[in-house]
Chain A
Amino acid sequence: MIKEERNFADPQFETAMIPGRFQRTMRHCIVWQLIRMVFFSVRSIGIIMVNLKNEKELPST
């Protein structure tokens, strides 16, 4: 049991989900997070490319 599981005692928290030990470790695993940083950067470049693709010009009124 991780200590955060005690938080479920509050009924407001009942429908949420919290990460287990493995997920929490991965959040701070340097190698894995470097990979995720590259992944997010690629995602962001994708968004920039979509924005560039959507750039249009309208006739001035």
Chain B
Amino acid sequence: MARLVVLGAGVAGHTTATFAKKWLGNGHEVVVVTPNSLWNWIPSNIWVGVGGMSKEDVVFPLAPVYQKAGIDFRQAKAVSIHPEGKDGSDTPYVTVEYTGQNKEGQTEEITYDYLVNATGPKLNFDATPGLGNGEGGIGSNTVSVCTADHAVHASQELKQVFEKAKRGERQKILVGTGHGMCTCQGAAFEYIHNIHHEAEKAGVRDNVDIKWISNEAFLGDFGMGGMHMKVNGYVVSSRIFAESLYTERNIPWIIGAHVNKIEEGKAHYELLDGSTGEEEFDFAMLIPPFAGAGMKAYDKAGEDITSKIFNPGGFMFVDGDYAPKPYDEWKAADWPRTYQNRDYKNIFAAGIAFAPPHIISKPAKSPNGTPINPTPPRTGMPSGIIGKAVAHSIVDLIKNGSSAHLHEASMAEMGAACVASAGKGLTGGQAAAMTIYPVVPDFDKYPGTGRDTEYTFGEIGLAGHWIKHILHHLFIWKAKLKPGWTLIPE
């Protein structure tokens, strides 16, 4: 009997664990280690953040789902990896610290035959002074929609802002990224447009100034270097697509911005041209930069090998090409295909946890040397596809031995569908529905745009909102492993 340990139960980890268990059956063991007791459909947090959904609509308890599936669930956070075992034993293990199940604070060593690191991001609020509370959590100056609880708090704060606006007090809202190296601009994009939509519905839009601030070099970069897509028969840059939407909704923007300090009601920033500025606000939602989960790694002798397994940001090295090279020499082939750790072949990383070989957008620095560019998104559909491919590889390795073939899911050969909400409502809602192929541009294969414009398409309308709402229910159905869950694509 082999044991697969999956660290993390987000989109990637949950997909890996559930498919691996289904394919392996009861002859092998699947253990999931996650500090959270609840599964969260994160794409809908933006609706919680504007009061359009409750926390209960976007989360469910993991324990009963894993019990039904025969998966061993440990509510704990992974602390360290020991891929060579320890003195007296060659069996690799992870050290975990419980956060629930009435074992809070207790540590345990869990041995494994195969390990998947799908820990997702650590929300690194403290990277920007004033954005965090100095203890790893969010500070009191801004709000976030990164977790369901954060989104509930954001909704309460936003409600107060709307009430003040109703009383005739002019309010300033600032939404975007809280650091020069953030990713996940898409979530902030959705949130700002949902705030606009709700302000219109509440009849307070004329009394609310809404402004965007982000580290993108141009609006519509989204950490993917932007894209050219078919819109109404034209091939259009995502820059025009995004700028047009912001113009229509009267949302001005500050771009190429590294937010370097937050005070109560004020954000300080540095721009790509080296100039600095500050923006006052009554309400701000700024996405924090992401870091790896912060696990350590040790060899058999107990020596620290963290830098061998993880990059400085805490993301795990896999089979990508990590040799430093200039932007002009970046290739689609640099991106990992199997997500197998380069040193320990029984360790894989999936979703945000794997180290990208480089960013996707063109790197940029201010004259002061401050890097200001989005880091690559690895969430949503790519996370699920990677998680499933990793599960497939490990199942084949367990069933067929070390000669088994590994399954590929390169982001440079992967298409994705993305629906970005711009307002919620059965008949009044809107969303930008997009398909993109490939996620990582391949300028050798598609000179000019880097992507296949036959498959890269975008449109805004009510249909997009319906699709996002249907996907909300579909993916929660899938994550709960309800009948037919395997038929729902990632």
Contact = CB atoms under 8 A, between A and B. Distances in A.
Given A18-B248, A43-B435, A36 B243 contact: no
B93 interface: no
Interface in B128-154: none
Contact of B345 (A29, A59, A60): A60
A7 B405 contact: no
Contacts of B408: 54-58
Which of A17, A34, A40 has the most chain B CB within a 10 Å cutoff? A40
Contacts of A26: 461
Q: How large is the interface on B (under 10, 10 to 19, 20 to 34, 35 or more residues)?
A: 35 or more
A60 B253 contact: no
B455 A7 contact: no
Majority-rule SS of B interface residues: mixed
A50 interface: yes
A34 B427 CA distance: 11
Given A16-B240, A30-B427, A58-B406, A36 B461 contact: yes
Contacts of B247: 4, 7-8, 10, 13, 16-18
A8 B252 CA distance: 11
A44 B459 CA distance: 13
Nearest to A52: B489
Contacts of A54: 408, 413-414
Contact of A10 (B252, B338, B389, B461): B252
Contacts, number: 116
A60 B403 contact: yes
Contacts of B461: 26-28, 33, 36
Contacts of B249: 4
Contact of B466 (A12, A33, A56): A33
Contacts of B433: 40
A36 B467 CA distance: 10
A7 B209 CA distance: 13
Contacts of B235: none
A58 B427 contact: no
Given A28-B428, A51-B385, A58-B408, 19 more contacts: A8-B247, A12-B252, A16-B243, A27-B430, A28-B461, A28-B462, A33-B461, A36-B461, A37-B466, A46-B435, A46-B455, A47-B415, A47-B417, A47-B437, A48-B489, A55-B407, A59-B405, A60-B397, A61-B340
- In the A-B complex, the 7 residue pairs with the closest CB atoms: A57-B405, A47-B415, A16-B247, A13-B247, A37-B463, A36-B463, A33-B463
25 contacts: A7-B248, A10-B247, A10-B250, A16-B246, A17-B247, A27-B461, A28-B427, A28-B428, A33-B461, A37-B463, A37-B466, A37-B467, A40-B433, A40-B459, A43-B457, A48-B415, A51-B385, A51-B414, A55-B389, A55-B407, A57-B405, A57-B407, A57-B408, A58-B338, A61-B345
Interface of B: 240, 243-244, 246-250, 252-253, 337-338, 340, 345, 385, 389, 397, 402-409, 413-417, 427-428, 430, 433, 435, 437, 455, 457, 459-464, 466-467, 489
